[in-house]
Amino acid sequence: MRFRILHESRGRVRLSAAGPSMSMEEADLLEAWILSLPGVDRVTVHERISGVIIFFHGDRKELYRRLAGFRYEKAREEVRVLSPQSRRINREYKEKMVFQVLGHYAKRLFLPLPARIFLNTLNALPRLWLALKTLGQGKLTVDVLDGAALCASLLTGDFSTAGSVSFLLGLGETLDEWTHKKSVDDLARSMSLQVDEVWKLAEDGREELTPLSRVEVGDRIVVHTGHVLPLDGILDRGEVMINQASLTGESVPVAKYPGAAVYAGSVVEEGNCVLRVTHTAGENRYDRIVRMIEDSERMKSGTENRAYHLADRLVPWCLGGSALTWLLTGNAARAVSVLMVDFSCALKLSMPLSVLSAMREAGKHKITVKGGKYMETLSKADVIIFDKTGTLTNACPTVARVAAFQGRDEKEMLRLAACMEEHFPHSVANAVVRAAEEQGLDHREMHSEVEYVVAHGIATRIGKERAVIGSRHFVFEDEGAEILPEDRAAFDALEPEYSWLYLAVGGTLAAAVGIRDPLRAEAKKVVGLLHEAGFEKICMLTGDNLRTAEAVAKELGVDEFRAEVLPEDKAAFIRARKEEGRRVVMIGDGINDAPALSLADVGIAVGSGAGVAREVADVTIAAEDLEELVLLRTLSGRLMKRIERNYRFVMGFNGALILLGAFGVLSPALSALLHNGSTLLLGMDCLAPLLPEDGSGKERRCGT
């Protein structure tokens, strides 16, 4: 495809694609493909004018070179478009709002009075019918209030006010519906699976790393312990424990046997399995996430729920105030003015919009929040606990040295270690595999089925011998591996500054792999910023030895640390803090962190970590920079301030309108205009960013 450059600036380019327009499917495909390019931060495609706006960092010429090679056919094989939902939603609701506004003012400008009266009455009938149905069910909600206001306007002959009220109510509902659907769609996209490749089982039984886009219905894929099921399917082989919390809400893993149906988004907690694919598209997973977001009460923070309940409780008071005004003054216009105002509309619009907008804003910074209540808890939390490896340290540790014993070859031992580690989602395992690749070592399958022991290591069989790799405790204590006398001096000389993986074959130590895991450059700064952000205690939990943990804790300035902890120890530590009355945030990345993430008030998983951690956690961060945690804390605090401020505004402003209407200062039409206008403006204000465009936490006036 050919692109024409319309405008260039630093980090931004605006292009025009060949052709007058493109379909929504083509626009989504082009947008997904460009977003997958290295250095691209953000992209917007306008399908009607074939316009493309790209925000990027890096080499401009390289970006243009790649764009010149774009083909729709090739892109369909390289990227997946989750859903065309977002683009369709925007087009549908933009057109709907335009027609509502044009229709309303065209009616006022061009139709004679009798025709306007007829249309205004006709437009009011659905709301009157809804009000009667609600009353018939024994409920007093805002629908009854709206129906009463319209009915009073029609009975008093104020058809113009009735038309304006119907128009403003309809416009507000469209804006509310549009924003809610768009926010839910954006959130569902950010919560969707980020799986690009799977292990496909070939006809000869070999496992081949295959792009997800090339997997077809009927293919068999292998899923190991700790991995997310990327597609729906039928269990073909293997007995596994599946965590389905993200789909069903079940907190306890369930056993699955061959022949059972399993679904994308579930996590294999124990065992390995072969899955026969039944659906290849991402729609199945996406649709379930959308339903979860729309239906789940997890979405609502405590402040939101209180606002909802208060809004419904105030409806009878509004109706009573209108009746009392009419009884005391005998003036129907004043009574109608009171009816034109309610608290429910503004409260029920502004609260969810504020939360969804904040969650969407977090998504722009590669932070996925699964519910509004977690942001509320984050704003009030006073203890934050870090796992060390892969969280406070670089997500990409490296192999510093391989020590071989028994006269074995170091490269052969690294090749064997990579062969065992390649199936498991942990930063240390990734380091071993990467080191083997950098040395050009082919670590093709040469073992039987592997067994993953959480927080300890991996066991398998090489020929007739049992091979294990993992921690010192696992290899020497649990497995009882021995060190040959002639290797003892070399073993004792292993550098203490490295974390060591031990590899034993046939019950004897064969090699040790030294892992260098430097701290993140920003880790110490972030600990200080989190203290400034209001966390009273910052803790670190790690499976490392005491000497290493103590040095790291001292360097970072954390308040408390624990070394050589197991998963159950982390959970116990969090439980103790909660019993003290603390609100606890836990941050981790591995399978062994899952129990602690589940138990914390807010569990935050690192995006590059294990699938089970991401699924169990309430929040996921990309962790390209730990300052995302500070940003999230700031965003959560500003969201709660916005909700409280909106609450006070709605109560004060609408209360004043009711009083002014009751005293005859405001006419019914003006009351309706001010009430509905303020509701719309409040809703629009709720969509304003809580943070500056650069994502920093610096103060700015943006509706906070």
Residue 232 backbone phi and psi in degrees, to 5: -75, 150
Residue type, 655: G
Both 268 and 126 in a single domain?
no
Both 17 and 165 in a single domain?
no
Q: Please give the full DSSP string across 206-241, using - where no structure is assigned.
A: -EEEEEGGG--TT-EEEE-TTPBP-S-EEEEE--EE
Structural domain that includes position 403: 398-516
Both 177 and 207 in a single domain?
no
pTM above 0.75, yes or no: no
Out of 516, 549, 571, pick the residue that ends a domain.
516
Q: Identify the DSSP state of 520.
A: P
Lowest pLDDT segment from 69-83, 241-255, 569-583: 241-255
Both 540 and 493 in a single domain?
no
491 falls within a domain: yes
Lowest pLDDT segment from 45-49, 95-99, 244-248, 613-617: 244-248
- pLDDT (average), residues 145-172: 77
Residue 638 corresponds to which tokens in the numbers above?
């500003």
CATH number, domain of 489, equals: 3.40.1110.10
Out of 491, 516, 541, pick the residue that ends a domain.
516
User: What are the pLDDT digits (tens) for 208-230?
Assistant: 878 776 788 888 998 887 777 88
Both 483 and 427 in a single domain?
yes
Separation between Cα atoms, residue 389 and residue 462, nearest integer Å? 29
Separation between Cα atoms, residue 224 and residue 240, nearest integer Å? 9
Q: Is the pLDDT of residue 189 over 70?
A: no
Out of 220, 255, 281, pick the residue that ends a domain.
281
User: What are the pLDDT digits (tens) for 562-614?
Assistant: 988 877 888 899 999 999 999 999 998 766 677 788 888 998 888 665 555 66
Look at residue 53 in the predicted model and tell me its pLDDT.
92
Both 412 and 462 in a single domain?
yes
385 falls within a domain: yes
Nearest to 573 by CA among 613, 537, 604, 606: 537
Q: Is the pLDDT of residue 139 over 70?
A: yes
286 falls within a domain: no
378 falls within a domain: yes
702 falls within a domain: no
Both 411 and 488 in a single domain?
yes
Both 511 and 526 in a single domain?
no
> At what angle are helices 302-329 and 332-339 packed, to 10 degrees?
180
Q: Is the pLDDT of residue 704 over 80?
A: no
169 falls within a domain: yes
Both 403 and 478 in a single domain?
yes
Both 480 and 416 in a single domain?
yes
Q: Is the pLDDT of residue 174 over 90?
A: no
Look at residue 481 in the predicted model and tell me its pLDDT.
92
Q: Is the pLDDT of residue 318 over 60?
A: yes
Helix (H) / strand (E) containing 457: strand 457-462
446 falls within a domain: yes
Would you tell me how many other CB atoms lie within 10 Å of the CB of residue 78?
Answer: 14
CATH number, domain of 29, equals: 3.30.70.100
CATH number, domain of 250, equals: 2.70.150.10
Helix (H) / strand (E) containing 130: helix 113-136
Residue 182 corresponds to which tokens in the numbers above?
């768009």
Both 173 and 108 in a single domain?
yes
Q: Identify the DSSP state of 474.
A: I
486 falls within a domain: yes
**Total domains present in the chain:** 5
Residue 85 corresponds to which tokens in the numbers above?
């939902």
Residue 165 corresponds to which tokens in the numbers above?
């009220």
- Of the chain, the percentage scoring pLDDT greater than 70 comes to 81
Both 439 and 478 in a single domain?
yes
* Highest mean pLDDT out of 240-244, 416-420, 481-485: 481-485
